[in-house]
Structure 1
Amino acid sequence: MTRNHRSAKAAGTRFERNIADTLAQHVDDRIDRRVKTGAKDRGDIGGVRLHGQRIVLECKNTSRINLATWMRETEDERGNDDALAGLIIHKRHGKGDPLDQWVTCTLRELIAILRANRIEEP
């Protein structure tokens, strides 16, 4: 079956729901899929916290990986949410289990998570 805009959008929504439900089940039951907010988007999954600070999660269910674009989007959303860090969760094709999906971030994001504070860009 060929993907069109509607089927791609539905697949993305299902992917976000599966990720949110899995995180809620295994981490914190307050984690849930966020409502889209347009230009001031704050990521796809809400309620994720570490060290008392928000973590932005951006979900992508696409066959074409575009990490540079996704990371710019995630960084914008991290800023909109005043979050500690932003992570991209993207579809690992051939793996249906949400626990088997990819998670990608920059070293800056990983350091922020490990130290509980950000290294700001120069």
Structure 2
Amino acid sequence: MTRTNRSARQAGARFERTIANYLAQQVDDRIDRKVRTGARDTGDIAGVRHMGRRITIETKDYGGRLLPAQWTSEAHTEMGNDDALAGIVVAKRRAVTDPGSQWVLMTLNDLVALLTGSRPDTDL
């Protein structure tokens, strides 16, 4: 079955819902899917915070191969739009339905920000 734009959007929305529900259950019940914000997108999941700062999460239910550079760049743009501490990507693993077993992609600077509560001075 060929993936159309519509089926890709529907799969993406289902994946966002799955990840938001999982995070709400495991972390904080205020976490939910974000409403679309258009040109100044701020990620896909709302209510994720660490050390009092917002964390931008971009979800990807992709039909081809992993594109970590492109996706983390997108997450960082959205992180800037949201004045967030870190921008991370949650990517769907093929044939894996458990939300806790999905891929999480981030830069080392994002990991440092999560561990320390502040971003390093430089970002690549």
Give TM-score scaled by structure 2 length: 0.95
Q: Please, what is the CA RMSD of the aligned residues?
A: 1.0
Are 2:25 and 1:30 equivalent residues in the alignment?
Answer: no
- Runs of 4+ that moved beyond 6 A: none
Percent of matched pairs sharing the same residue = 54
- 1:77 partnered with 2:41: no
Counterpart for residue 101 of structure 1: 102
Which secondary structure does the structure 2 equivalent of 1:114 belong to?
helix
- Distance in 2 (CA, whole Å) between partners of 1:69 and 1:120 is 22
Q: Which amino acid aligns with 1:42?
A: T
3-state SS of 2:97 partner? coil
Partner of 1:91: 92
What is the total number of aligned residue pairs between the two structures?
Answer: 122
Alpha-carbon distance in 1 for matches of 2:95, 2:73: 27
Deviations 1:8-61 (CA, angstroms, capped at 9, x unpaired): 000000000000000001110000000111111100001000001100000000
Partner in structure 1 of residue 122 of structure 2:
121
SS at 1:58 equivalent: strand
Please list every run of 5 or more consecutive structure 2 residues that lacks an aligned counterpart in the other structure.
none
Where 2:109 maps in the other structure, the secondary structure is helix
Unaligned runs of 5+ in 1: none
